[in-house]
Structure 1
Amino acid sequence: MQALIRNRFLLYNLIRRDISSRFVGSYAGLFWGLVHPAILLVVYSTVFVFILKVRLGPGVKQNFAEFLFCGLWAWIAFQEGILHSVNVVVGNPNLVKRMMFPVEVLIPASVLSALFLQLLGFSLFFVYLLAFGKVPVTGVYRLLLVCVPLILQILLTMGLGWILAALNVFIRDTAQMVAALLTVWFFLTPIIYSVDVVPEGVRFLLDVNPWTHLVGMYRDVVFEGRIGLGWGTIYVCVLGVVVFIGGNHVFQKLKPEFADAV
């Protein structure tokens, strides 16, 4: 954490460079950052509502698109942050081989740049909820409450990003394995379905999944204006801090070997 604070201006410049590099030469610019989640939203809504006629369960008050997007935008930010982080060390050998360059800053830069683009989509989603009366005007304070699961998501993503980026330096199959595992992880997270419809016998898989509780926190904040203080919230808080600290520790331990391996 001290390294991030000490190199905050470098971190800011890396984030800005990463965001601008994605859209260099593009006419639509940041608009393309909203297209991916919008397409997924339309496709999932069409398939699950109109073709499969999936029902979310008695405990869900929102329509499928609202229910879906409230978890989908956060997952996309997490997924993009992880996938970019895995390759960021091996993809920047010139920076890694510089003796004084703080390589650990590359991972937070990847995570936060991915998050920035998805926050644009979430902002539009919240405006939609306000405009159509799904959230009262007095519910603007919920944007502040969103910071709680958002910070936990950042801690979890950075911690995993550090671990996976370090492993990918020595085991180059890591990136491919992570991409496959993220697909499995997505379907084990109640984003396109409600926890209520999951059989009791396999619900423990969702209980140990931190993203089950993160998505639940986002939905509670946005739709209900509250944060539950159950064991799931405590679990994610503890896990987020442990993964963040542990991930940074692993990265720092392996960092001296990076220059020879990339």
Structure 2
Amino acid sequence: MTTASTSFPAGLPHLVASLRHHRGLIRQLVRQEIVGRYRGSFMGLAWSLLTPILMLLIYTFVFSVVFGARWGGLPQGGKAAFAVVLFAGMAVFNVFADVVVRAPTLVVANANYVKRVVFPLEVLPVVQMGNALFHFGVSLLAWLVAAWLVLGGVPWTAWLLPLVLGPLVLGTLGLAWLLASLGVFVRDLAQTVGLLVTALLFLTPIFYPLEAIPPEYRAWFGLNPLAHVVEQARALLIAGEVPGAGELALAWVVGVLAMWLGFAWFQKTRKGFADVL
């Protein structure tokens, strides 16, 4: 049983060792999370592909048909090309959103694990990230087919996508550990985070290019890390452009630092979880 005097190591070496030691448990929980999400539904895992496609069609209709939005610089024009660009940005954003939205309730929803010292609570955000990456992979497969049909191919730089996605994964995990801890003590956090993620969806250049923002506001949008990730991912997937080495190196440093700070906070505060739950 966890006591007030229980101490949990918060260093990066411990994190790496814990994830390595519990990799079998993580795989099992990720599999259960994915299967359980669609258990009992008629379409089953097909919803993991149909849901983003249906949302994509809705967003494409609203922004390209109703509002008349256009995306310059594409090899081919039209609403189909707009949909391909939009889908790429949405798929990357959802890696962040799927984890962060559920993070505040992770520990609360698994309260039965809290008093079991042998259960590694730190793997819960990692399981959510595994679930998010699975759905990202499904969306990416659909995007590749659409890009070949609409744009006529995919540049070789698409293979470099993990270089851009990696810092996002690390930083999101750090934020998830922070929110999972705070969600135990502040129960309204889940609703607040949901609203903020929805706001970020429209404040991130997903439905429009960064160049479409008036110059006087562009610097403020640049403070959003997701804006850089989405722009870099689209550059790799569509434009065939590789971000600068310095920019990528900085992103990885920030991602690792954010991951460590979030994990350290989680480890330092988890000894109080049992008292609240």
* Letter aligned with residue 71 of structure 1: G
SS at 1:135's partner residue?
coil
Is residue 177 of structure 1 aligned with residue 189 of structure 2? Answer: no
1:149 matches 2:149: no
Provide the residue aligned with 1:97 in structure 2. Answer: 115
Instruction: Rate the CA distance shift 1:133–1:191 in 2: closer, same or farther, 3 A.
Output: closer
Deviation of residue 178 (structure 1)? 0.3
Letter in 2 for 1:128: A
What is the 5 A alignment of 1:152-167?
152-167=167-182
2:3 matched residue in structure 1? none
Give the CA deviation at 1:237. Answer: 2.4
- Preserved contact between residue 101 and residue 197 of structure 2 (Cα < 8 Å): no
Matched residue SS, 1:99: coil
TM-superposed deviation, 1:111: 1.5
1:243 to 258, 265, 271: 258
The alignment status of 1:33 with 2:55, answered yes or no, reads: no
Instruction: Please give the TM-score of this superposition, normalised by the length of structure 1.
Output: 0.92
1:115 CA drift (Å)? 2.0
Q: Give 1:202-217 correspondences, 5 Å limit.
A: 202-217=217-232
1:128 aligns with 2:153: no
Query: Where do 5+ consecutive residues of structure 2 fail to align?
Result: 1-15
Quote the Cα distance in structure 2 between the aligned partners of 1:67 and 1:132: 11
The corresponding residue for 1:54 is 69
Preserved CA contact (<8 Å) 1:59 1:196: no
Secondary structure in structure 2 of the residue aligned to 1:211: helix
1:65-117 Cα distance to aligned partner (Å, 9 max, x none): 11101110121232111122221110001111111111000111012112202
Q: Secondary structure at the match of 2:44?
A: coil
- Of residues 103, 124, 127, the one that matches 1:85 is 103
Unaligned runs of 5+ in 1: none
Q: CA RMSD in A?
A: 1.8
Residue 238 of structure 1: how far off its partner (Å): 2.7
Deviating more after overlay: 145-154 vs 67-76: 145-154
Shift of 1:192: 0.4
| Per-residue deviation, 1:38 | 1.2
Measured against aligned partners, the alpha-carbon deviations of 1:27-59 in whole angstroms (never above 9, x if no partner) come to 211111122211221111111111111233x44
Aligned partners of 2:75, 2:99: CA distance in 1, in Å?
A: 31
Distance change >3 Å, CA 31–CA 198, structure 1 → 2? same
CA distance 1:32–1:259, change in 2 (3 Å)? same
1:131, 1:55 → 2: CA distance?
A: 19
Distance 1:237 1:188 in 2: 23
2:88 to 70, 78, 88: 70
Q: String of CA shifts for 1:118-156, please: whole Å, max 9, x gaps.
A: 2101112112323455325xx4x5453111122122112
Cα-to-partner distance string for 1:216-261 (whole Å, 9 max, x where unaligned): 1111111133421176544432321111111111111111111221
Greater relative contact order, per chain length (Cα 8 Å cut-off, separation 6+): 2
Report deviation, 1:214.
0.6
Q: How many residues align?
A: 258
The TM-score with structure 2 as length reference comes to: 0.87
User: Which stretch has the larger CA shift, 37-46 or 234-243?
Assistant: 234-243
Say if 1:81 and 1:112, in contact at 8 Å, map to a contact too. Answer: no
Q: Report % sequence identity.
A: 33
Within 2, Cα distance between the matches of 1:107 and 1:72? 21
1:90 match: secondary structure = helix
Partner of 1:22: 37
